[in-house]
Structure 1
Amino acid sequence: MTLAEPAAAAGAALDAAAAWGGRHAHDPTAVRDDDGTYWLFSTDASGDGPLPRAGVQVRRSEDLVTWTFQGWALDGVPADAAAWSGAEGLWAPDVVRVPDTVAVPDAERWRMYYSASTFGSRTSAIGLATAPHPAGPWTDRGLVVTSRHDVDGPNAIDANAVVDADGRHWLVYGSFFGGIHALGIDPATGFVLGSGGRPRPGPGLLLARRPHAVEAAVEGAFVLPRPGGGYALLTSFDSLFGTYHLRVVAGPSVTGPYADVRGRSATDLAADPAGSTVLAGHRLAGGRGWLAPGHASVLTEPLPGGGTRQLLVHHVRDADDPTRHEVQVRRLAWTAGGWPLVSPQPWAGPGRELDDEAAWPASVAELAGTWEVVTFARGDAFAASALRAVDADGPPGAVALGRGRFTWDGAGPSARAGAVEAVVFPAWDAVRGRATLAGAALDTGTGVVTVATLVGPAR
């Protein structure tokens, strides 16, 4: 193994973490190497007590379902990061492969932006490490962006490296305090443009913010291209241990301006909360309760027959023991209007998931049956599920589902203000242990998102 392993101390720490699997993975990001193996990087965190050690947790998987703990990317907190922030562990790593169009040494083809900070402080830093492969060896390159607690502006944590359609590189970052910002990055070095490889204090361009009345609680940004052009910005809102949830806005470029489906600006404090909730705490009947899902990244990977698959990678807490957190993966799909929605079911892996969109539902008749639905409403820490019936002879109305990627125009007896954009796909019911259909829908008139699972025949 080429991950950082300073002899006996690391061996003991690895032994202690060997049984973790996907547990204790917080602020996760997943990548796939050239051989098809998945690598997960996450915050130095443990819900069971003290950390065994620090340096960014690394896990490996063949199917995105079962994770094997591999060790730590770095030998603890790098000296410059520790001196600046006082951090005892590293947070929220973002790992990316530098595009082949950028000339960098083979040993620096992979980049990891890590965060160093302490809770409640804006004295923070984002650092850069590089490696030839996700397995390492990772070499620290120094600090990229810094912030001070007594200086107004964004908190220099939660990095997301983005390459736009014009080949420009950006670092999107920020957490609470001053909101989400973006800085231009030198493709060749990974550092801020014009910085000469030295730390930059920011702030950059403002993308999103929230009022101080709600502690400016927005963080964990992730930007991804929309089908047909433009970008979606995923962020996490509210309390990490309770009302944490994932919202989405969209804009024409990486730097915005971003607005939600109702046109409310992500930087307008009077419009708070902007964005539609795409994932929040919930419990499906007979299943585990999932609390405070968020700090998501998106894994985009090619499919063997062409096209791509996108999966949301996020952490979530056990509703019955909120100190315990773990990684979860869910299918991400786009509506006809270009809004990302996610499955109500965790990803089940090869043999259980069907990626061929030609086999996805193509008519309303295929949706007939009883659905278990969850509606994500503002302010819910934990959303309840309910059963609804879909009639094969008409629009599903309150269930808010659609066929394939479909836009309901609101005509007929279920007419409403605005359209309902939905996507339905084959899925694996984790509670009942069987193949089924799942879907999600966005009411463009209200901004409310509903997710649902087909659980039985029509009533």
Structure 2
Amino acid sequence: MTGTDTTTPADPVTPEAPTTAEPDTSAWGGRHVHDPTAVRDDDGTYWLFSTDARSDGPVRGGVQVRRSADLVTWDLHGWALPGVPGPAADWSGAAGLWAPEVVRVETAAGPLWRMYYSASTFGSRRSAIGLADAPHPAGPWTDRGIVVASEHVEPPAGLGHPNAIDANVVTEADGEQWLVYGSFFGGIHALPLDAATGLVADGLAAAPGALHAAPGRLLARRARAADGAVEGAFVLPRPGGGWALLVSYDSLADSYHLRAAVGDAVAGPFRDRAGRLMTDVDAEPWSVGVPVLAGHRHAGGPGILAPGHASVLTERVPAPGDGSLGRQLLVHHVRDADAPTEHRLQLRRLVWTHDGWPLVSPQPWAGVRREVDDPALWPVHAAVLDGTWEQLSPGADPTRVQDAVAGPLAWPHDVRAGVRALGGGRFAWTAADGAAVSAVVHPGWDAVRDRATLCLEALDDAGRVTLATRLP
């Protein structure tokens, strides 16, 4: 959920006061999903947690919970909590909960699932991140109180104090944990967590004044010219070492889009492909970060508006000789371009270039029966770059729904002469303008034509991204 300033138009999915009657959820499926995160339990069932939001009327509070056997068909399981827990409600005045983050931890008594939820109201910095836990993703969930809280205190200068929403928990190889959080206002920060308790490690009180004095490490911030619009952060390990940062830019209702950067440590600094810091507020606001997904429309298909607030589901699927992290899926929400208040769930394959940059498929995930997970079966010859491709450039103009353009890949026809095939669908070459290009080609499923196809994701060293679908 957004934390933009109070001059921004009202968020069309801000929860209203909860009603006493339970809504009819029988046909929801993946509709009304906002700010999603997905996990897999020990028996292989997938669980999805999302913001208390519905486009067509009031909704009860407590975090929506869905389940699926295949990541394609979803059923609403219910709500994790009976409403907004007392401490968070008293502080924030929230009627619903936003942007849950769910992680599994091992304890002496067995696995424990922790849920970090956000409580706030639209346009407010009086917010809190709370913690609940359960023995299983299905619950029962027990509230453990507020982890960090913030309030609106106008600083003497700058972009303000952090807003305590949009939690992301990051665990390093040695078990050290971080709470990555923040939205608009003061930007994205990281605080160390105590892995044993799930609370802030250095004893930082939940009182907002303490958070202002010690907000943690600054990871990303946007200039006032862009309303400070950065939120929904997710940090994940890179296959070759280091970390990647995914964040959402701009307006939740229309120009929302996803950008990436990389760094050596969870606490940053993070830089984009051109070397710009994600904290650079002096650069042109839309030049910072690698744009990896934005609004678009494939020929004959629906318009996808404002994709973002992404998390990543990582599964340890065997991939002989690949050395990657296994199957990874970007879990995010989109709006319908022809009905902008309607929001729903999408998943897309997340891939890594040979030099460790995350990119996402131009096509939604179609399920294991239609997808090919083993990179040993992905293309290995440069001839695969020939033919006609339907192409998107997510960085061209993220403020509009971009129509895909069909044609040969936008590099010289003789590019094959200089292409390096690196295995597992990975390729590299030098473009005509001298830019170094890293690309991934893999099997996918064309959602519009309902057929198997190939997908390409490419990034050059100027930060330009191409997403393409091979046409018949």
Using the size of structure 2 for normalisation, the TM-score is 0.88
**1:134: how far off?**
0.5
Q: Deviations over 1:38-88 (max 9, x none)?
A: 00000000011211x110000000111111011000010000000000000
- Return the match for 1:50 from 39, 44, 58: 58
Alpha-carbon contact 1:54-1:88 (below 8 Å) kept: yes
Identity %: 61
Which letter maps to 2:55? Answer: G
Q: 1:367, 1:392 within 8 Å by CA — same for their partners in 2? A: no
The equivalent residue for 2:465 is: 449
Q: Confirm or deny: 8 A CA contact 2:425 2:442 kept in the other structure.
A: no
Shift of 1:195: 1.9
**Which residue number corresponds to residue 95 of structure 1?**
102
Helix, strand or coil: the match of 1:58? strand
Q: Is the 8 A contact 1:298 1:312 kept in 2?
A: yes
Question: What is residue 348 of structure 2 aligned with on the other side?
Answer: 330
> 1:219-234, aligned counterparts within 5 Å?
219-234=231-246
Match of 1:386 among 405, 419, 438: 405
Q: Is contact 1:364-1:402 (8 Å) kept?
A: no
Given residue 254 of structure 2, which amino acid in structure 1 is its aligned partner? G
**Deviations 1:393-438, CA, capped at 9 Å, x for gaps:** 73279xxx9974535331xxx5223211110100011100111101
More displaced 10-residue stretch of structure 1: 426-435 or 15-24: 15-24
Hey, what's the Cα distance between the residues in 1 that align with 2:108 and 2:56? 40
- Decide whether aligned partners of structure 1 residues 392 and 239 sit closer, same or farther in structure 2, where only a CA change above 3 A counts: closer
SS in 1 for 2:252: coil
The one of 173, 185, 199 equivalent to 1:177 is: 185
Q: SS at the partner of 1:112?
A: strand
Partners of 1:162 and 1:223 within 8 A in 2: yes
- Do the aligned partners of residues 439 and 296 (structure 1) sit closer, same or farther apart at CA in structure 2, a change above 3 Å counting? same
Pairing 1:154–2:173 present: no
Gap change, CA 1:388 and 1:366, over 3 Å in 2: same
> Could you say which residue in structure 1 is the equivalent of 2:457?
440
Q: Is the 8 A contact 1:276 1:447 kept in 2?
A: yes
Query: Could you tell me which residue of structure 1 aligns to residue 4 of structure 2?
Result: none
Partner of 1:425: 442
Corresponding residue for residue 126 of structure 1: 129
In structure 2, what residue type is equivalent to 1:127?
G
Q: Given residue 175 of structure 1, which amino acid in structure 2 is its aligned partner?
A: S
Call closer, same or farther: CA 1:369–1:211 in 2, change over 3 Å: same
Note the 1:310-329 alignment, pairs <5 A. Answer: 310-329=328-347
Alpha carbons 1:159, 1:172 under 8 Å: kept: yes
Secondary structure of 1:84 counterpart = helix
- The structural deviation recorded for 1:12 is 5.0
**Aligned residue in 2 for 1:406:** 426
Structure 2 CA distance for aligned equivalents of residues 23 and 450 of structure 1: 28
**1:248 pairs with 2:270:** no
Partner SS for 1:395: helix
Q: Deviations over 1:151-187 (max 9, x none)?
A: 5411000000001233210000000000000000001
- Partners of 1:89 and 1:291 lie apart in 2 by 24
- Is the Cα–Cα contact under 8 Å of residues 403 and 424 in structure 1 kept in the other structure? no
The alpha-carbon deviation at position 290 of structure 1 amounts to 0.3
Gaps of 5+ in 2: 1-17, 155-159
> Residues of 2 paired with 1:373 and 1:49: CA distance?
37
Give 1:233 deviation, angstroms: 0.3
| SS of corresponding position for 1:415 | coil
TM-aligned CA deviation for residue 455 of structure 1: 0.8
CA separation of 1:128 and 1:335: change in aligned 2, threshold 3 A: same
Q: Which whole-Å CA distance do the structure 2 matches of 1:386 and 1:265 have between them? A: 31
Ranges of 4+ aligned residues in structure 1 off by more than 6 Å: none
2:273 aligned residue (255, 261, 276): 261
Q: Which moved more, 1:387-396 or 1:113-122?
A: 387-396
Tell me, what secondary structure is at the counterpart of 1:82?
helix
Q: Match for residue 415 of structure 2?
A: 395
Partner of 2:304: 290
Change (3 A) 1:196 1:384: closer
Aligned-partner Cα distance in 2 for 1:379–1:203: 33
Q: Partner amino acid for 1:318?
A: D
Please say if 1:74 is aligned against 2:81.
Answer: yes
- 2:49 counterpart SS class: strand
Indicate yes or no: 2:385 matched with 1:340. no
Instruction: Assess, with a 3 A threshold, how the Cα gap between structure 1 residues 197 and 345 changes in structure 2: closer, same or farther.
Output: same
Could you tell me how far apart the structure 2 residues matched to 1:402 and 1:304 are?
A: 19
Encode CA deviations 1:285-328: one digit per residue, 9 max, x unaligned. Answer: 01111000000000001215666210000000000000000010
Partner residue in 1 for 2:229: 217
- 1:5 matched residue in structure 2: none
- Give the structure-1-normalised TM-score: 0.90
- Is the alpha carbon distance of 1:286 and 1:448 closer, same or farther for their aligned partners in structure 2, counting shifts above 3 Å? same
In angstroms, what is the RMSD of aligned CA positions?
2.2
Q: Contact (CA 8 Å) 1:402, 1:424: kept in 2 or not?
A: no
Q: Deviations over 1:364-417 (max 9, x none)?
A: 1133321100111254321121111259973279xxx9974535331xxx5223
Task: Please list every run of 5 or more consecutive structure 1 residues that lacks an aligned counterpart in the other structure.
Answer: 1-8
Say if 2:147 is the partner of 1:144: yes
The one-letter amino acid of 2:471's match is V
Amino acid at match of 1:282: H
* Equivalent-residue separation in structure 2 for 1:253 and 1:354 (angstroms): 32
* CA positional deviation for 1:18: 2.4
| Alpha-carbon spacing, 1:364–1:392, altered in 2? closer, same or farther (3 Å) | farther
